[in-house]
Structures are given as C-alpha cells and as structure tokens.
Amino acid sequence: MKHLPKVLFLLVVVFAGFTFATQNTTDDLEIVTHELKGVVSAPVRVVQISDVHLKRDELDPLTVRVAKEVKDLTPDIIVATGDMVNYPTSLRALNRFLDLLPKNVPLIAVTGNWEQSNLDSKNMEKLEKLYAIYGDTLLENGWKTVEAWGVKVALCGVRYKIEVDELSALISNAPKAELTILLSHRPDTVDLLKEADRAKVDLVLSGHTHGGQFRPYGITVVPQYIGYKRLSGFFTGAPPLYVNKGVGTTTMPVRLGVPPEIAVFDFLP
C-alpha cells in the first residue's frame, strides 16, 4: 500500500498524456455551414469569426489559415463577434490579419470583454480607426446597413455590457431591411431583448464561451461553464441564437475536445 500514491500519480500522468494526445483540438479548424431558408429574396452568405485572441504582434499559422479560409469562402459579409485582440500590442497583428481578408467585402465587428478590459479609450480609438482603414466597421451600440445582391442587411453591434433599455432603444431604431442580425460577444444578451423587440431580429450571433475550450470526452471542466446551457451552436427561440466556438484560447493555449471554428450562414430565399 505504501506505493499506492506513486501508482496513482503515474496513472494520472498517463491518463493526462493520453487525453492531451487524443483530445487536443487546438489547431483542428472546422468550417461549419448552416442554411437558413425563407428569410431573403436572394442568397446572401455571412461568415462569422470570433474570439481570435491575437496576443502578439505576429500571426500564428492557425490565424493565417483562418484568414485564408474566410477568403476562400467568398462571403458577402464578414462579422467578428469580439475578443479579436487581447492587448494594445495585438493591434499590429490585427492589422496583418485584416490585410489577409478579402478586399471589398464588408467586415462588421464588435468588441468583447478582453478589448473592454485591456484597451483604454485611446487604444479603442486606434482599434476603430484600424478597422476603418480596411473599410470595415466597429460597432459600439450602433447599426450598419449593407447591401448584398440587392438584399439589405441591417447589422446591430452592441458592447459587451449593455442594459435592457439601451438595447431596446437600439432595436426600436432598426433600419428597414430584409435581414436583421444582432452581433453581441456575450450570448446572454439575447435574454435582454424585450418581448416586443424579439420579432425585429432574425438572428443573434455571439461568441465568448470558446465552446468551453476544455471539454475532453465531451465533459465540461471549466468551472464557469459547468451547467452553462449555451456553450456553442444553434439555440432556437425568437430570435434564434448562434454561439461560435471561436478561434483562439485564453488561460492556456490549448483546446481539448473543442476545435476552433469558422461559421458560415447561407441565407436563402
């Protein structure tokens, strides 16, 4: 029995190594396509990226691949649902990333908790200007209307933290469009929509959760997400919500059982 602790420790090490070898999905980029019919008069493709979490001033191979894949998907609109950068020094990497994306395709972005926490007002202004250089738009509780194939698409982008009345005021001023999409880094923003406003939004796109990031064998191990019902994927309701698993990582540079994701939404007549 005196060797039992050593045996248990060895078993834990072996199991941890096996888990990392078989469940490590950090670089296993997935492209997930969804068709939504009966919403528009002509086909419109929206590509969503989220939680890229650029940390340094250079791009890693996965991020370069993400940009290439987005370009190859020939989107009509690109949306980025927050946490694109972690620090002020990450803005240089974002500049390189945006330069790799397709030109003349509008990108609409919102901020996440990392931008809100780590970028002061001066760097937030730099972030907004950086998007603008590429003809893109950073929305902080605002609207942007884009036309694709004759279809007017209204996109509302909200800050990471928004109050019920703020959101209601935004939705009540929605521009006329065939398709209305709400962009919010935090999935729970959908709960803030007043009953009268829900029918005005066709789809809510969010991120934030990384799909749990550590879910070996389908088991959620991150305490804050144990029991959380909106880790990733589609959630029906009025309006429907999609939670993107994101691309990058936080805390540890590893994903277990939760691959990075690019989400494609094909809106069809």
Domains of the chain, first to last: 4-268 (3.60.21.10)
pTM: 0.92
Judged by average pLDDT, the poorest of 1-10, 12-21, 50-59, 123-132 is 12-21
Residue 193: is its pLDDT beyond 50?
A: yes
Percent of the chain with pLDDT over 70: 91
Predicted pLDDT of residue 251: 85
Instruction: Report the pLDDT averaged over residues 211-228.
Output: 85
Q: What's the mean per-residue pLDDT of the chain?
A: 92
| SS3 sequence of the chain | CCCHHHHHHHHHHHHHHHHHHHHECCCCCEEEEEEEECCCCCCEEEEEECCCCECCCCCCHHHHHHHHHHHHCCCCEEEEECCCECCHHHHHHHHHHHHHCCCCCCEEEECCHHHHHHCCHHHHHHHHHHHHHCCCEECCCEEEEEEECCEEEEEEECCCCCCHHHHHHHHHCCCCCCEEEEECCCHHHHHHCCHHHHCCCCEEEECCCHHHCECHHHCCCCHHHCCCCCCCEEECCCCCEEECCCCCCCCCCCCECCCCEEEEEEEEC
Residue 8: is its pLDDT beyond 90?
A: no
Instruction: Report the pLDDT averaged over residues 224-242.
Output: 92
Predicted pLDDT of residue 110: 99
Residue 134: is its pLDDT beyond 80?
A: yes
| Alpha carbon distance 147, 138 (integer Å) | 17
List, for residues 144-168, the tens digit of each pLDDT value. Answer: 999 999 999 999 999 999 999 999 9
Judged by average pLDDT, the poorest of 20-29, 62-71, 121-130, 251-260 is 20-29
**Residue of higher predicted confidence among 121 and 7:** 121
Closest CA to 180 of 152, 138, 160: 152
Closest CA to 95 of 126, 70, 120: 126
Residue 15: is its pLDDT beyond 60?
A: no
Question: What does each C-alpha distance from 61 to 54, 170, 250 come to in angstroms?
Answer: 12, 38, 17
Q: Do the bridges between strand 107-110 and strand 77-81 make them parallel or antiparallel, or are there none, so unpaired?
A: parallel
Predicted pLDDT of residue 219: 86
Predicted pLDDT of residue 22: 59
| CB neighbourhood size of 35 (10 A) | 10
| Alpha carbon distance 80, 112 (integer Å) | 10
| Alpha carbon distance 69, 62 (integer Å) | 10
List, for residues 65-78, the tens digit of each pLDDT value. Answer: 999 999 999 999 99
Residue 18: is its pLDDT beyond 70?
A: no
Residue 91: is its pLDDT beyond 70?
A: yes
**Inter-residue contact 94 to 49 (CB < 8 Å):** no
Residue 13: is its pLDDT beyond 70?
A: no
**Residue of higher predicted confidence among 119 and 10:** 119
**Model confidence band, residue 225 (pLDDT cutoffs 50, 70, 90):** confident
Predicted pLDDT of residue 268: 98
